[in-house]
Amino acid sequence: MKPKNIGLISAVIFLLSACGSYGKPPLPAAQAWYPTASAKIALSEAFTQCRFVDRLLVGVQRINQQSACMRQLGFELDTSSYRSDNCYGDAPAGCIVQWPNGVSNSKTVTPSSNDKK
């Protein structure tokens, strides 16, 4: 195969692989949070202890509190599925990684007034 063809094929594969994730919904918390070596309880139990609500609309402060709780219990969040093209409206709480200080885009949500500092 000619080097020109290899480059063209590589470029097409790269573009198609990037486009393949566009429009896919973000992962819900039950799939995005995973235990680390320090986790001593099940994920469902951690959600209960942290009073976890998997909704972006609960606000920045609440999401930060429940995320800190989850980390203290030995869990980490896989943020790879949270992108600006799929995190809007009443999206999963993990979408806050796109807008750590709240969002102002009309297609997205804004934190409630008691969450703003």
Stretch 72-101: mean pLDDT? 89
100 has a pLDDT exceeding 80 = no
3-state secondary structure of 117: coil
Whether residue 22 is predicted with pLDDT greater than 90 in this model: the reply is no
pLDDT of the residue at 39: 97
Does residue 53 belong to any structural domain of this protein?
A: yes
Dihedral angle sign, alpha carbons of residues 108, 55, 22, 32: positive
- 1 within some domain: no
3-state secondary structure of 102: strand
pTM score over 0.85? no
Structural domain total, the chain: 1
Tens digit of each residue's pLDDT (9 = 90 or more) over 23-81:
689 999 999 999 999 999 999 999 999 999 999 889 899 999 999 999 999 999 999 99
Q: What is the rounded distance in angstroms from the CA atom of residue 115 to the CA atom of residue 117?
A: 7
Inside any domain, residue 46: yes
Is residue 4 situated within a structural domain?
A: no
pLDDT band at 16 (very low <50, low <70, confident <90, very high): very low
75: enclosing H helix or E strand: strand 75-77
Structural domain of 68: 24-103
Q: What local confidence, expressed as pLDDT, does residue 13 receive?
A: 54
Which comes out higher in pLDDT, residue 99 or 61? 61
